Structure 1
């Protein structure tokens, strides 16, 4: 597994969960107190998020942290 494949898969999972809840990137970014551009990079797998960042996203999506890694 390449170094960035996990962050790409986590990003895709965040996008899938966000879309399943009917949220736009802007909506989720606002719930996390992030800029939309940061949410876009996160979903695209172009950043290596901290656990703190992932925890904020999971709480905003009302899922467990583990669900972000269910791919």
Structure 2
């Protein structure tokens, strides 16, 4: 059995960190300035976010960029 793709693992990490803050997906998307549907695609691995979008995610979560890639 192969490992989930990097996009899927990254999305799972974003979801995990978002849930730890207690934010809904919609509230988090608003904080990032993204559409909720785009946020959903990020969290499910359906989107391939740009480096700029990844920085926005880190800033919205108030974490260092490296935290987004820890344990994925």
Alpha-carbon offset, residue 56 of structure 1 = 0.2
* Number of matched pairs: 70
CA-based RMSD of the aligned residues comes to 1.5
In the TM superposition, residue 63 of structure 1 has moved relative to its aligned partner by 0.7
- Where 2:49 maps in the other structure, the secondary structure is coil
Structure 2 match to 1:21: 21
Alpha-carbon distance in structure 1 between the residues aligned to 2:39 and 2:64: 18
CA distance in structure 2 between the partners assigned to 1:46 and 1:27 by the alignment? 20
| Unpaired segments ≥5 residues, structure 1 | none
Unaligned runs of 5+ in 2: none
Determine helix, strand or coil for the equivalent of 1:47: coil
In 1, the alpha carbon distance for the partners of 2:67 and 2:23 equals: 17
Q: Per-residue CA shift, 1:6-62, capped at 9, x if unaligned?
A: 111110000000000000000110011000000000000011111100000000000
